[in-house]
């Protein structure tokens, strides 16, 4: 059963917007805001069960399509997507794969930061949440309707208590898949969920923006917090939904590949991820130490153009990018880059516009599109890119993009796309972006000193 007091009251949108406006005001005045550093990172992917294992796979040029060689040519679409994008350790979690992914990422990030998980304020973000648990909870009802034609809910829906099996899947219906995930994460990790952000593919970076604002403007809060995300939505419903929308790569052994930033693009691969970072607020006037990664800036925006399609000119992305680029040198850009025919050229054009509007005089800024190697993590995608950016700064290496054989060209773009691994500076700034359905957009800049 739910325990009273396990969740604090969620903060009103009005208060969040007030602090966001205050943050922009302070940025343009003489307000002295505390600086924020990233003290721990966690990442679970289909190519690695830790951040460093995943990054080693990326540096080695490994990609998810390598798994296709082990599959029969006549494999069904759902089986193919699940075989390619799944994380092995998450498949047999008794509650939901997303819980396993989130827990592992959280433990890695907290261990790296040297902070206890118990009581740690945590900003959770997903696009989908614990959808496997929701599917299990509703399956008996759906089957009953199909078999009998009766519009009657099974008796299991009358209680939120665990059933005879010991599972509490009905809570996923009563609470929704996002809050259900919060509940189990709080129960297992003893964290203190602050909020659960749902902003399509920009969910995790939007939550990061809220967390940064809270640390900088609410001195009464603890000096450390965690941003935690996980996605495990490889269900038939979502697979066929994305397939019907025309954004999923062709689900055959020969064609199921994601090639962002390449001239030939056919859609994205779906994947499971868990990612987490721990933020630490420095004392007033304190500066990051050499080797520390600072969370330099964040920004969010949205557009009401369409529930699914992006505005062809992506003004919301250009708006966020201008904020990220203004007054600083950007050494590497990690774009959202889904690999769909329409998205990538529009995103590069918007980034180019933002760079020109902010008078950047750099010749060619390298791009890295992680989805070509790991697939699309939906709401987790932004934080996955951010962790990868942090590891690139720590090692001075930008992974290769072996799927690139004809780099996407945008007129007068001060951007550099190559298939080769690049050696980069171990200090400097990286920008990462996420853009989702409904125009949800977020950006972040990190700097290693």
Q: What are the phi and psi torsion angles at 409 (to 5°)?
A: -110, 130
- Helices then strands (H, E): number in the chain? 13, 13
Predicted pLDDT at 166: 52
Task: Please give the radius of gyration of the chain, using alpha carbons only, rounded to the nearest integer.
Answer: 21
pLDDT of residue 303: 86
pLDDT at site 306 = 80
First-to-final CA distance of the chain: 47
pLDDT of residue 26: 57
Domains of the chain (ranges; CATH) run 13-448 (3.40.47.10)
Residue 254 and residue 428: Cα distance in Å, rounded? 40
pLDDT value, residue 229: 99
Q: Max CA-CA distance within the chain?
A: 69
pLDDT for the residue numbered 305: 81
Q: Which residues in the chain land under pLDDT 70?
A: 1-31, 140-166
So what's the pLDDT on residue 137?
A: 84
pLDDT of residue 170: 84
């Amino acid at each position: 059963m739910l325990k009273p007091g396990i969740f604090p009251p969620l903060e009103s949108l009005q208060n969040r917007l007030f602090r966001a406006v205050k943050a922009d005001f302070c940025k343009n005045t003489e307000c002295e805001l505390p600086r924020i550093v990233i003290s721990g990172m966690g990442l679970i992917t289909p190519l690695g069960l830790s951040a460093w294992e995943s990054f080693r796979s990326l540096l080695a040029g490994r990609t998810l399509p390598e798994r296709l060689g082990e599959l029969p040519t006549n494999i069904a679409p759902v089986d193919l997507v699940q075989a390619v994008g799944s994380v092995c350790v998450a498949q047999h979690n008794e509650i939901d794969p997303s819980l396993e992914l989130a827990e592992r990422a959280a433990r890695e990030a907290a261990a790296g930061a040297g902070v206890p998980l118990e009581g740690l304020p945590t900003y959770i973000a997903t696009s989908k949440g614990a959808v496997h648990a929701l599917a299990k909870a509703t399956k008996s009802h759906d089957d009953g309707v199909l078999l009998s034609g009766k519009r009657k809910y099974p008796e299991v829906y009358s209680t939120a208590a665990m059933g005879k099996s010991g599972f509490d899947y009905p809570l996923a219906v009563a609470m929704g898949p996002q809050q259900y995930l919060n509940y189990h994460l709080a129960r297992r990790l003893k964290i203190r969920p602050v909020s659960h952000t749902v902003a399509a593919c920009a969910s995790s970076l939007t939550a990061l923006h809220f967390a940064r604002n809270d640390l900088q403007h609410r001195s009464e809060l603890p000096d450390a917090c965690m941003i935690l995300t996980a996605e495990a939505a490889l269900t038939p419903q979502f697979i066929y939904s994305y397939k019907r929308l025309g954004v999923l790569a062709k689900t055959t052994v020969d064609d199921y590949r994601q090639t962002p930033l390449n001239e030939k693009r056919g859609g994205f691969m779906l994947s499971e991820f868990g990612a987490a970072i721990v933020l630490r607020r420095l004392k007033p006037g304190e500066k990051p130490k050499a080797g520390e990664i600072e969370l330099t800036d964040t920004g969010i925006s949205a557009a009401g153009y369409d529930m699914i399609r992006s505005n062809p000119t992506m003004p919301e992305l250009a708006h966020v990018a201008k904020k990220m680029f203004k007054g600083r040198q950007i050494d590497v850009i990690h774009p959202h880059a889904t690999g769909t025919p329409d998205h990538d050229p529009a995103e590069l054009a918007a980034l180019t516009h933002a760079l020109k509007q902010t008078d950047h005089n750099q010749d060619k800024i390298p791009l890295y599109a992680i989805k070509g190697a790991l697939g699309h993590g939906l709401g987790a995608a932004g934080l996955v890119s951010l962790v990868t950016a942090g590891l690139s700064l720590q090692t001075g290496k930008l992974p290769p993009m072996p799927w690139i054989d004809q780099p996407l060209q945008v007129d007068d773009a001060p951007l550099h796309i190559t298939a080769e691994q690049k050696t980069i500076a171990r200090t400097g700034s990286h920008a990462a972006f996420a853009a989702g359905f409904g125009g949800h957009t977020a950006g972040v800049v990190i700097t290693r000193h």
